[in-house]
Amino acid sequence: MSKLACMLVLAVTFRLVDGSCEVNINDLADPEPVFLKSNNELWAPVNGTLQWSETDRTLIACPGSTIDGTNLEVASIECVCGTTFRIQGSTIDIRRVVCQRRTDSIVWRKTAPQNCAVDGTLFNIGFDIPTVGKIPLIEVCYDMRLAAPIYSHHEIRGTAIGSKIKSFTRPRSFKSDMTPPEVDPSNLFTIRSSFATLTNLLGSETQAKKFMPHNSSRLRLSRGHLAPDADGIFRSWRLATYYYLNVVPQWQICNAENWERVESIARKMAKNMQEDLMIYTGSSGVLNLPDSKKKLIPFYLTTVKESEGTVSKIPVPSLMWKVLKSRKQNAAIAFVQHNNPFLDEATISDRLCDDSTHCAQYGFVNGQFKNVTRGYTYCCTVDELSSKLPSLIPSEARAAKVLCGPK
């Protein structure tokens, strides 16, 4: 399309845009490439659109695949007009550019800093782009000894989250990259395996069925994301969350009910504030369930024989926590959930703060949060959370003020 034709189209439609090229990400064909900004960082749209000035050049990439119609994993594109770009001397409609197959993310161990919490190792999940290098999307602090994540850190892109790509098909499986070789999470997280483990721990199927009845799809363990896929903007970003490095055993009803409400609050806050919110998500403790003699038994998904003896691994956490932090305001808020739909609210003894007023006080009222069967949930200041879990909450999650919601 010529420059004159582009000008005529703009004139006829009376449409003014900041640049000469623009694409709505929901018009992109699946699987779309990874878009990089001119500084080679991951590019998130503003209100659903990516924009270029005339003759701007940026990179697109299909890590682990190739751009359809080329033999390239990464290519430079030059804005011509509208959704028309030049790539390798040919003009193309960027909306029709796809990868030959879904893009691959990778996991790598961070080199500086290497460690986190007390026993944690830092990993990045992201993309390895030829000629550019590794670009992180999610950071995970992982306990190799317990084969369990301690916390994750990612950002919710405030100007993009409200218009993320809507069509997304979840992958059939999670990846086990960087998990200890002595455990097989793809088997241990299954309903069959977790029920067998609980039966062995509690001494009988009858007792295990009190917590995992066979006729319930909600009273079972799920693979609970720390960094959730719904926080991603592009399909490739969402796919990158599907690692066992990024999940803990979470009761499905807690995950699908009140924890999903917390995740939705985080996305709504980022969208309303039009700000990239820092999100830290983790777990704490080990859930104890009673055997037939009412003795409390810690719930781990497996045990492994090691040189020092039998070691329990992959704990079912007793608590989940999530911190939302605004850099601009230097303010943060923490949400805590009891990962136990069998609690008696009157006997909850391990609250991390005075939960009676905090959510209402700071503008996060939700009538379901106190529903125990959906995952008892409450709000804390990050200082309160840090005082109870001092070795788990990274210093970067702390803030001078409390982040308030829409009261």
51 burial (CB, 10 Å; 0-12 / 13-18 / 19+) is middle
Is 398's pLDDT higher than 70? Answer: yes
DSSP labels for 232-301? Answer: -SSHHHHHTT-BGGGEEEEEHHHIIIIIHHHHHHHHHHHHHHTS-EEEEEEEES--EEE-TT--EEE-EE
pLDDT tens column, 95-144: 999 999 999 999 999 998 889 998 899 999 999 999 999 999 999 999 99
1 vs 175, higher pLDDT: 175
Is 19's pLDDT higher than 60? Answer: no
Is 345's pLDDT higher than 50? Answer: yes
pLDDT tens column, 272-296: 999 999 999 999 999 999 999 999 9
Q: Please, which pLDDT band fits residue 348 given cuts at 50, 70 and 90? A: confident
Q: Which of 39, 37, 41 is nearest to 51 (CA)?
A: 37
pLDDT for position 1:
47
Q: Could you give the percent of the chain with pLDDT greater than 90?
A: 85
Q: Please, which pLDDT band fits residue 18 given cuts at 50, 70 and 90? A: very low
pLDDT for position 113:
85
Is 175's pLDDT higher than 90? Answer: yes
Q: State mean pLDDT over 49-73.
A: 95
- Residue 288 neighbours by CB under 8 Å, 6+ apart: 296, 297, 298, 299, 318
- Token match 């490739």: residue? 236
Cα end-to-end distance, the chain, whole Å: 51
Q: Where are the beta strands (DSSP E) in 354-402?
A: 377-380, 401-402
Q: Are 42 and 50 in contact (CB under 8 A)?
A: no
Q: Which of 21, 27, 28 is nearest to 52 (CA)?
A: 21
pLDDT tens column, 317-337: 999 999 999 999 999 999 999
**Across the chain, what does the average pLDDT equal?**
93
CB atoms within 10 A of CB 33: 27
Q: Strands 309-315, 133-143: parallel, antiparallel or unpaired by DSSP?
A: unpaired
Q: State mean pLDDT over 338-348.
A: 85
Q: Are 322 and 397 in contact (CB under 8 A)?
A: no
Main-chain dihedrals φ then ψ at residue 332, nearest 5 degrees = -150, 160
- pTM for the whole structure: 0.94
Q: State mean pLDDT over 197-207.
A: 97
pLDDT tens column, 1-15: 444 445 444 443 334
Please tell me the distance from the alpha carbon of residue 42 to that of residue 38, in angstroms, as a whole number.
10
Name the 3-class secondary structure at 365: coil
Residue type, 246: N
Q: State mean pLDDT over 260-268.
A: 98
